[in-house]
A = this chain, B = another copy of it.
């Protein structure tokens, strides 16, 4: 993993950016003690009254002051909220773990409520011995723990034809990053015995949509997990309780939720979700298909349209996330001027394979407008492209796989807006 920059290093970076932080901070609000701030001189209710007892919340929830930290939907995007999307509030989060209650949802027939005692996973098709597993059976196979990002292929899809949605929750919020516990799919396939002509699998969900996707056997035998826990506890229903497929680094639609069947076959099935959907229409009318890997991408989450700079000029922190379906993130660069000058950001926190990375860039804001962008470079050396570079090759008919550089314009008041630069 990438070593954190030590606090000494970060402190130097902080000071280097402008005046000594102390002076700037004093101007920005940090007061000398004894200034008469009523929040200090007055006794607050919580200084003298008991709070909640330990039996108040057997399962805890966020405090009322955080009620705006929530998933949001955009009703005009889809015809019906049971076949729709909501978005992770990226601008409210930090670090690399997405709390389970805030992981975006995408389902085609609503979030199913499945009784785990009645749920089964079948493996059939080109296998020596078709098998059916109960949840208890699955938990008798060796498990692994991995943190992976899950990104919908349509994340940022509205941006192909220009800046559309004003907030990173909406432009980039179809992503989350959690620790999964599950059984390597390979162990289950080995149990059933894949025949030599078994080259593909079909993963099928148990919800009313009966979602299906074809996956090449090489990926199925590599790092796919049949997962039953996320961030330590059982999968949430909207994430496929009691069991889902984890397909690290590949588009979220393939991570079939409410997983009930794995069929082994000799060719892809060409079902709806891999033909009329999840293919990319090019300018010449032909379509790219089987574009599974989510390429390196990043976004600045703060400031952003839902999270303006409210403190005025002086020491300022830009933060965001970067990820790659091909490995780890080696470097993130940030620009304040729409790409004229790039500065290396600081990555803090574990650098794990196919997982979110958190970056920071500290600088001293002079109060003039900013044209903010971030650019991820992954462990393969791939550099996140601009939107124009993507359009040059793929036209503007696509919905999926937009990993182009995002731009926020920040005005003198610190308000941010989704814009395009050429």
CB distance A95 to B40 under 8 Å? no
Which B residues touch A82, using CB under 8 A? 50-54
Cβ–Cβ contact B132 & A40, under 8 A: yes
- Count A interface residues, CB 8 Å: 138
Beta-carbon nearest neighbor of A31 in chain B: B132
Given A59-B62, A63-B241, decide whether A112 and B229 contact each other with a Cβ distance below 8 A.
no
Q: Does any Cβ of B come within 8 Å of A216's Cβ?
A: no
What 0/1 readout, one digit per residue, does chain A (38-53) give for beta carbons within 8 Å of chain B? 0110001011111111
Q: Measured between alpha carbons, how far is A81 from B52 in the docked complex, in Å?
A: 9
Could you tell me the distance in whole angstroms from the C-beta of A51 to the nearest C-beta in chain B? 3
A48 to B114, CA, bound (A): 12
Is residue A386 contacting chain B, with contact meaning CB distance below 8 A?
A: no
- Complex contacts, A94 vs chain B, CB 8 Å: 143, 145, 181, 229, 232
The reply to whether A51 and B207 contact each other, CB–CB distance below 8 Å, is yes
Q: Are B65 and A116 neighbours in the complex by a CB distance under 8 Å?
A: yes
Q: Are B119 and A39 in contact (CB under 8 A)?
A: yes
Which residues of the other chain, B, contact A7 by a CB distance below 8 angstroms? 142, 144, 184, 186-187
Shortest Cβ distance from residue A324 to the other chain B in the assembled complex, whole angstroms? 18
Judging by beta carbons under 8 Å apart, are A122 and B40 in contact?
yes
Collect the chain B residues with CB atoms within 8 Å of residue A85's CB. Answer: 54
Chain B residues positioned under 8 Å from A191 (CB to CB)? 21-22, 25, 30
Q: Which of A325-366 contact B (CB under 8 A)?
A: 346, 348-350, 352, 358, 360, 362
- Of B59, B115, B360, the contact of A70 (CB 8 Å cutoff): B59
Cβ–Cβ < 8 Å partners of A115 in chain B? 44, 65
Q: Is the beta-carbon distance between B30 and A132 smaller than 8 angstroms?
A: yes
Interchain nearest-CB distance for A389 vs B (Å): 31
Contact flag A58-B70 (CB < 8 Å), given A29-B134, A111-B51, A186-B7: yes
A179 contacts the other chain (Cβ, under 8 Å)?
A: yes
A357–B419 Cα distance when bound, in Å, is 44
**Which of A101-109, A277-285, A369-377 lies at the interface with chain B?**
A101-109
Counting every copy of the chain, the complex holds: 2
A409: interface (CB < 8 Å): no
Using A13-B142, A71-B58, A352-B350 as known contacts, say yes or no to A233 and B92 having CB atoms under 8 A apart: yes
Given contacts A14-B141, A316-B140, contact A51 B146 (CB under 8 A): no
- With A31-B132, A122-B33, A146-B4 known as contacts, the answer to whether A179 contacts B236 (CB < 8 A) is no
Instruction: Evaluate contact between A46 and B136: CB separation under 8 angstroms.
Output: no
Q: Please, how many angstroms separate the alpha-carbon atoms of A181 and B21 in the complex?
A: 20
| Residues of chain B with a CB closer than 8 A to A64's CB | 113
Q: Is A238 an interface residue (CB 8 A)?
A: yes
Chain A residues in the interface with B (C-beta under 8 A)? 1, 4, 7, 10-11, 13-14, 21-22, 25, 28-35, 37, 39-40, 44, 46-66, 69-73, 80-82, 84-86, 92-103, 105-107, 109-116, 118-120, 122, 124, 129-134, 136-137, 139-147, 178-181, 184, 186-187, 190-191, 206-208, 210, 229, 231-234, 236-238, 241-242, 258, 310-311, 314-317, 319, 346, 348-350, 352, 358, 360, 362
- 12 A-B residue pairs with Cβ-Cβ distance under 8 Å, sorted by A, are A22-B191, A29-B137, A30-B191, A37-B132, A39-B119, A49-B208, A53-B110, A54-B71, A63-B113, A95-B231, A96-B179, A145-B350
Question: 9 closest A-B pairs (Cβ-Cβ)?
Answer: A51-B110, A145-B349, A53-B81, A33-B130, A58-B70, A7-B184, A10-B142, A50-B110, A94-B181
